[in-house]
Structure 1
Amino acid sequence: MPGRKDDSLYFLPLGGANEIGMNLNLYGYRNQWLMVDLGTSFADEGQPGIDMVVPDTSWISDRREDLLGLVITHAHEDHLGAVAHCWEDLECPVWATGFAASVLRRKLAEKGLEDEVPVHIYKPGDTIQLGPFKITAIGITHSTPESQALAIETPHGVVLHTGDWKLDPDPVLGPASEIETLRNLGDAGVLAMVCDSTNVFNRGRSGSEGEVRDSLLQLLKDRPGRIAVTTFASNLARVDTLLGVARALKRHVCLLGRSLHRFTEAARENGYLQDVPAFVDEREAGYLPRESVMYICTGCQGEPRGAMARIAFDQHPHVVLSPGDLTVFSSKIIPGNERGLFAMHNELVRRGIEVITEKDAFVHVSGHPSRDELAEMYGLARPQIAIPVHGEPRHLVEHARFAQSLQVPHGLVPANGDMVRLAPGLPEVVQQVPAGRLAVDGDELIPLQGGSLQSRRKQAFNGSALISLAVDEAGILQAAPKLALLGVVNGDVDLTEAEIAAEIAVAIDRLKPGRQRDDAALQDAAIKALRRNLKPITGRKPLIEVHILRL
């Protein structure tokens, strides 16, 4: 384990390597650690009742006296969304740009931590000195304001941590990337670049937000009905694009979704979206002429609680779309979300509402670099070591190959928990440390494996059964067993429950008198009888609970 006498420079990802999302990166020197980003990821269908997943911070939490601070690169959920959930285990100061700080403070307030967490503001060009790390912020274009790359100066050289970025010549919100600063950094020498890998397979460039603005304007003009557009609430560049399109089309804008209101409020606090007319309240928008309304909605990935899903399935309390209206999904279809999204698309189409996605028209550009932009970045920074992050294994391996084809001497592909020694000597993984995921369950963080989630998964796929036994002190049944089967059988549930309850009673009666006094024996007999009689009917193995009442 690195100690205070160890003169090596380390990079340690605990999230965001071998996955897209949930970014958590650590840099270590002489047992002092700098954290960059602390984000969330989406839960999947195998995690019932869970919306959000955060990285397991236990390794660095156990060393929090050596954690100098957390620097956040930008205001997306997968880079700052876990701070409110994990900070009490870290108790370190936090640095963020003004916009990211505004977003973060709202999240901290929801957890009652707004007065507990020291949040410091930095701007592009500012320098933060944390122990042996001198961090300089470099403005870079992304889909949300004030995204920053970090030039981290260490005793062994400079590490360029790109965060999420693209090279957009026509950004609609904020300045273009600081190309000359990056070139000067490369001229001075860069030891390693820890770089976004999301679009490494995409040829060419990601495209400009300005081009999306022009395309949406042409696509949406002369539409006779209501228009509802969904995108990520944190994609303020797209929200600004849509506001400009609505203004050009003389449509009133109604925001749907709490997170959209939070992000637009944070943007206005920091000088963005200043010339935007007042938004129309969702309770009033329905009274306006159909051709004069544009809804901007959350739920672009089919999230059941998102505004678009509630509209699609006619469950929104104030918004109704009709045949001839139009919905636009102005976002990428993230792999893994297709099932929910397509169900929503089909429901809208079934109701006579037109659906347009990125597959149908030019309604989206990524905030991440494609291959030509990656090549340009490597040409600017000219690092000795390429460390791909923010990607699945196939992205990271391809990124390392691509970097080496651009004459980068070393490419190394880490996984979460890989301790990478960057210098001195050749870069290599020197050990693995514990890394994993935790589910946000209400106000708690719980393991993804075992515990309550395992029970939920079993119940979700196999149903559950509750057996109630009323017996006397000798274990003799004083009433017929009660059985409740939930999500287990089709057809006549009452008849099946009655038949199996009778078999459970027989199994209890056949126990020897001594065993009838043992609760464990009663429970075992009831469970075996249930499984024996249920298997021929369904083949399922439900989650079973037995309640024993001794009278």
Structure 2
Amino acid sequence: MSDSKHLTTKDFDPAALYFLPLGGSGEIGMNLNLYHHAGKWLMVDLGVSFADETTPGIEIILPDTSFIEERLGDLAGILVTHAHEDHLGAIPYLWEDLRVPVWCTPFAASFLKAKLVEKGLQNKVPIHVLPLGGRSHIGPFDIELISLTHSIPEPNAVVIRTPAGTVLHTGDWKLDPDPVIGLLSNETALQNLGREGVTAMVCDSTNALVPGRSGSESEVRDSFMDLFGQYKDTRIAVTCFASNVARLHSITQAAHAHDRQVALVGRSLWRINDAARENGYLTDLPPFLTEKEAGFLPREKVLLICTGSQGEARAALSRMATGEHPDVTLERGDVVIFSAREIPGNEKSIGKIQNGLLRRGIKIITADDAFVHVSGHPAREELVQMYQWVRPKIAIPVHGEGRHLAAHAELARDCQVPEVLVPEDGGAIRLAPGPAALVGHVHAGRLCIDGKRIVPMNNHALRGRTRMAQSGAVVVTLVMTPRGDLLADPKVSIMGLLEEDEYEEETADLISRIRGAVDQLSRTARLEDSSVKEAARVAVRRNFSAMQGRKPMTEIHLVRI
């Protein structure tokens, strides 16, 4: 990619059709896809990703939109495929830099509006609500939605028609024969589209390595029916993705079958509940209990649905595992069911919560122990079925790490797709006319929420914070005369490197080493601030390298009096 041409606006032929991902290709999350035709751009999804322990102080990662910000006059709008955070979660953070209308279906609109209120953007973002299966024009793009199934209500594949060609952008999907909530996948519409002719299919790759089919939500509900019956005299808590409305329905139905009332524990669950009921989902269920109300019921008469399935430190289950939740207490003998799979990178944080629960005598059940989860993404048989219906000329695997994209590409070739291209973020692919080809690249980076600021992921402050977290830090203050004589011993502050009982002795030794390094400089060198600072810095780093094998972040302050 680095050797390919760096593209400017004039390099995009108005008569052609291009696909340009700025996030979500080569990774799972942070989806941002651009399509170009007739001098205009269409953005499909604008989502977030989540940080890990390698980025201290950072929780949310955003795609860098600088490429399209430089072309705002040509951006027709943002089309959201569904309401997951990795597909719309960046809109509240980045919309003021884009200021274009947003198109989405009713459930996604309700969810997005609630998030916009939190950012003070209510009534500022133009949101056009499309009906399920609806059709509209966004600039030169003729848009049609096709209903699919996924782990959230109203997931949509998007048909993008232009005079240059037609694309099916699948978004996230699976083929669930009994999804519990929402419509079945519209097989007829997909087959009709295949007969009409599809230039390219840009398709979900998350489970391209998984054989068979992903399984049905109704099967999880039936499994809960049996599982809850095995724990009649104890409290049950289930943690799952808050956005999985069908899972909330399945858990609640099974709980009611065993004479348990259901409480939601966690703010994001209540946000999803409100959006669901506003759009006619979950209306066949009684209102959920609050966590305070649940505390008045006997243990065997309540079931808790909790946030925290991915080990989030501030989620409800994390606080319950440490006994710090203000309203809900889990006791020895209670049961916690993890009804979600681990997102890669979250294993440590999930393990920490599970270990905390086990130490408190609480039983844990995961997908390794019982049938408590099905994925919302297509396994290989479902991908094959989609290719048989749509029959695209070009396959573009997205929404996956490199290994997922490679497996998906191989499967597409096995399905006799004539052309297969594996994209990378920032790589512009000409889909038509002519053979599909990577024509060059544009900037595609990452931003992050750092306190109240949005900054590049590779910014100096974050790099410094990461270095300090990994290697510690030392600050040295030197006071010298203009002629280069030290007026006092160096003042040293050492952070994250010494135990309390060794601090005094090791600090005294370090001060001696720094003073010795400065004293050894020639009279001429001691007149140069840079030479003095470098001598002190090298003394600090050599000291800790020899003692601990570490090279701490070192700052030298030099004052001449």
Shift of 1:117: 1.7
In structure 1, distance between residues paired with 2:263 and 2:487: 63
1:185 aligns with 2:193: yes
- Residue identity in the other structure for 1:175: L
Shift of 1:533: 2.7
Instruction: Tell me the residue number matched to 2:404.
Output: 395
Instruction: Tell me the residue number matched to 1:369.
Output: 378
In structure 1, distance between residues paired with 2:477 and 2:291: 49
Instruction: Tell me the residue number matched to 1:240.
Output: 249
Instruction: Tell me whether 158-167 or 482-491 shows the greater mean CA deviation.
Output: 482-491
Equivalent position to 2:28, from 15, 20, 39: 20
1:298 aligns with 2:310: no
Secondary structure of the 2:199 match is: strand
- Residue identity in the other structure for 1:440: I
In structure 1, distance between residues paired with 2:121 and 2:460: 28
Shift of 1:507: 4.0
Closer, same or farther: CA 227–548 of 1 in aligned 2, 3 Å:
farther
In structure 2, distance between residues paired with 1:327 and 1:470: 60
Instruction: Tell me the residue number matched to 1:439.
Output: 448
On the 8 A contact 2:24/2:30 being kept in 1, the answer is: yes
Matches within 5 A, 1:377-392: 377-392=386-401
Equivalent position to 1:148, from 134, 137, 156: 156
In structure 2, distance between residues paired with 1:106 and 1:295: 24
Instruction: Tell me the residue number matched to 1:157.
Output: 165
On the 8 A contact 2:266/2:307 being kept in 1, the answer is: yes
Per-residue displacement from partner, 1:304-345 (whole Å, max 9, x unpaired)? 222222222333233221211111110112222222222322
- Residue identity in the other structure for 1:342: G
- Residue identity in the other structure for 1:288: L
In structure 2, distance between residues paired with 1:2 and 1:403: 32
Instruction: Tell me the residue number matched to 2:466.
Output: 457
Closer, same or farther: CA 291–190 of 1 in aligned 2, 3 Å:
same
Per-residue displacement from partner, 1:245-275 (whole Å, max 9, x unpaired)? 2222222322222212211122122222224
Instruction: Tell me the residue number matched to 1:541.
Output: 551
Report the count of equivalent residues.
Answer: 551
Secondary structure of the 1:492 match is: helix
Per-residue displacement from partner, 1:448-487 (whole Å, max 9, x unpaired)? 2241111111111111112234556666555443322111
- Residue identity in the other structure for 2:180: V
In structure 1, distance between residues paired with 2:435 and 2:310: 42
Per-residue displacement from partner, 1:25-71 (whole Å, max 9, x unpaired)? 11111321111001111213221111121111111111111110110
On the 8 A contact 1:483/1:498 being kept in 2, the answer is: no
1:503 aligns with 2:513: yes
Instruction: Tell me the residue number matched to 1:415.
Output: 424
Instruction: Tell me the residue number matched to 2:183.
Output: 175
1:528 aligns with 2:538: yes
Structure 1: runs of 5+ lacking an equivalent: none
Closer, same or farther: CA 533–409 of 1 in aligned 2, 3 Å:
closer
In structure 1, distance between residues paired with 2:117 and 2:560: 49
Matches within 5 A, 1:207-246: 207-223=215-231, 224-246=233-255
Instruction: Tell me the residue number matched to 1:265.
Output: 274
Closer, same or farther: CA 274–536 of 1 in aligned 2, 3 Å:
same
Secondary structure of the 1:255 match is: strand
Shift of 1:9: 0.8
Shift of 1:158: 1.9
In structure 1, distance between residues paired with 2:169 and 2:155: 12
1:119 aligns with 2:108: no
- TM-score normalised over the length of structure 1: 0.95
Closer, same or farther: CA 485–98 of 1 in aligned 2, 3 Å:
same
Closer, same or farther: CA 5–288 of 1 in aligned 2, 3 Å:
closer
Instruction: Tell me the residue number matched to 1:493.
Output: 503
Closer, same or farther: CA 533–269 of 1 in aligned 2, 3 Å:
same
Shift of 1:286: 3.3
Structure 2: runs of 5+ lacking an equivalent: 1-7
Secondary structure of the 2:20 match is: strand
Instruction: Tell me whether 540-549 or 40-49 shows the greater mean CA deviation.
Output: 540-549
In structure 2, distance between residues paired with 1:420 and 1:538: 50
Secondary structure of the 1:195 match is: strand
Instruction: Tell me whether 341-350 or 453-462 shows the greater mean CA deviation.
Output: 341-350
In structure 2, distance between residues paired with 1:131 and 1:166: 30
Instruction: Tell me the residue number matched to 2:139.
Output: 131
On the 8 A contact 1:59/1:435 being kept in 2, the answer is: yes
Instruction: Tell me the residue number matched to 2:94.
Output: 86
Instruction: Tell me whether 54-63 or 240-249 shows the greater mean CA deviation.
Output: 240-249
On the 8 A contact 2:76/2:139 being kept in 1, the answer is: yes
In structure 2, distance between residues paired with 1:371 and 1:531: 53
1:58 aligns with 2:66: yes
Per-residue displacement from partner, 1:361-397 (whole Å, max 9, x unpaired)? 1000011111221122112212111111111122112
Secondary structure of the 1:174 match is: coil
In structure 1, distance between residues paired with 2:287 and 2:13: 59
On the 8 A contact 1:489/1:538 being kept in 2, the answer is: no
- Residue identity in the other structure for 1:143: S
Closer, same or farther: CA 37–479 of 1 in aligned 2, 3 Å:
same
Closer, same or farther: CA 478–278 of 1 in aligned 2, 3 Å:
farther
